[in-house]
Amino acid sequence: MTDLAWLTLAPALTPLGFGLLLLWPWVRPVRVGVALAGALLTLAFALGLLAATADGAVLVSALGGWPAPFGIVMTADRLAAGVSVLGAVSAVLAVWQAAADPDPVREKHHLFALMSFLFAGVQLSFLTGDLFNLFVAFEVMLVASYALAVLGSTREQLREGFRYIVMNLAASALLVVACGLAYGVLGTLNFAHLAQRSAELGPNTTVTAVGVLLLLVFAAKGALFPLGFWLPGTYPALPPAVGGFFAAVLTKVGVYALIRVFTTVFTGEAGVTNTLLLLLGTVTMLYGALGAVSQREWRRILAFLVVSSVGYLAFGLGVGTAEAVRASLAYFAVSVLVTAALFALATVAERAAGTRLVRVRGMLDHLPLLAGCFLLCALTVAGLPPTGGFVAKYALVRAGLSQGSVLAVVAVVSALVSSLLILFALLAVWRGFFWGKHPPEDPVRPVPLHLRLPAYVACALVAGLAVFAGPLLERADTTAAELRDNTRYIRGVLGDEPVIIPAAPTGEEGER
């Protein structure tokens, strides 16, 4: 354990501790201050983790002093540190937005505390080092998300929340089954030890079956078609700040699990899982884009864009080459930030227009900065230059063509068609909401600056992706190379010595 190993615990324990503090009946200014302080401190620890792993170090913290693979370990490499920062940035934006938009009913029922518990579950998912603890992290995250999904008790929330809860409970049950099968076949649940044991075992049908089962579980969590049917209805029903965090990060937790398991753990027989990921990604990209075209409400359109973005990530993972994994990692960062920005913009737009519909017309004269920010995000999501979305999507398409299989080429065509459909859907939003003359009989409602600021800051981060596209791709390249050679991760967690299973106790130790 290094001196900085404690950093692997800090991003998860900080929001957990602040969540417990927020259960106390503080007055609102104190409650908001505590929630913001917790989110900012989590971000500071995540950035510390990013710096500590920048040289390729794998930080490991063994809970209770039990080393891997016998105890629970928290681990952080470049991948885990990067997604931890993205989750923490989204958390700060979500708390900021919730603080700027008072909601007395939900705050009375511990809105900020539940959000902190959700952040803790997300960070735990990113930093855990074993499969069963990943299941625990999912449950911490999902229990908080279940409460947030139905907080407010509107008919729409209860209907959509029920589907969300049932789907995720089914996926969690399958994950427990997969954990049992993995332990039965390989005798461990630690990621590094699973990678070592599966490599020693060689090609094995049972291991492949476990991999496919895990793929289905994480595909459901990540909302890949057809397992993501619950998403387009659920996210628009949530409170704006919570919905933005769900959209930006929660599906990406499932995608992170796919990346971790199929680039670090089960790498021996990638053919079956990669083919499945390519198929699911191809259909999901088109399904999300067509869904966005068919909708007329802000957050329903954006919810389908979330689905489509998950398809792009699955496409890159399914191609499976180093170039494709690098492109997927770059797109992961772009997708998280642009989704958070778009949902924050939608909140401002809905507040100003007084309706969820996009057909309002003439808002360009009243909200010119919002219009500019939306255009930037639209170009980023569609993947047009000079945005960060273009850089990531271009790398994905190039990786698919380089791989050259028929399925990869079909996926490339699907990616290009869905990008055109997404551009059409977002230009329709622009034409319907910003263009033309606003009806004088429908006055524009004022939106306070403190509510608009989180959206503008999120858009500034999206603009930063274009400016720093080179460093983003460079980091993605280094991370992808590290993932494809899992030796460093295995040695970082298990050490250089072979793992020796202690002999079973005989009962004679006490007598001696």
- Over residues 233-281, the pLDDT tens digits come to 888 888 888 889 999 998 899 999 999 999 888 876 678 889 999 999 9
pLDDT at 120: 95
Question: Is the CB of residue 220 less than 8 Å from the CB of residue 248?
Answer: no
CA distances from 260 to 98, 252, 414 (A): 32, 12, 25
Residue 204 is predicted with a pLDDT of: 82
Report, as an integer, the average pLDDT of 340-344. Answer: 95
For residue 13, the model assigns a pLDDT of 95
Question: Mind listing the pLDDT tens digit for each residue in 8-26?
Answer: 999 999 999 999 999 998 9
Over residues 337-363, mean pLDDT: 92
Instruction: Give the model's pLDDT for residue 157.
Output: 75
pTM here is 0.94
The answer to whether the beta carbons of residues 310 and 222 sit under 8 Å apart is yes
Q: pLDDT at position 510, please?
A: 53
Banded model confidence at residue 300, pLDDT cuts 50, 70, 90: very high
Q: How far apart are CA 292 and CA 285, in angstroms?
A: 11
pLDDT in the model for residue 74: 93
Task: Name 229's Cβ contacts closer than 8 Å, sequence gap at least 6.
Answer: 163, 167
pLDDT confidence bin for 379, thresholds 50/70/90: very high
Task: Map residue 73 onto helix, strand or coil.
Answer: strand
| Averaged pLDDT of the chain | 90
- Percentage of the chain lying above the pLDDT 90 cut: 61
Q: What is the pLDDT of residues 385-400, one digit of tens each?
A: 889 999 999 999 999 9
Q: What is the pLDDT of residue 43?
A: 97
What span, in angstroms and rounded, lies between the C-alpha atoms of 83 and 335? 12
216 pLDDT above the threshold of 80: yes
Find tokens 């074993």 and name the residue. 130
- Residue 165 confidence (pLDDT): 85
pLDDT at 512 > cutoff 60? no
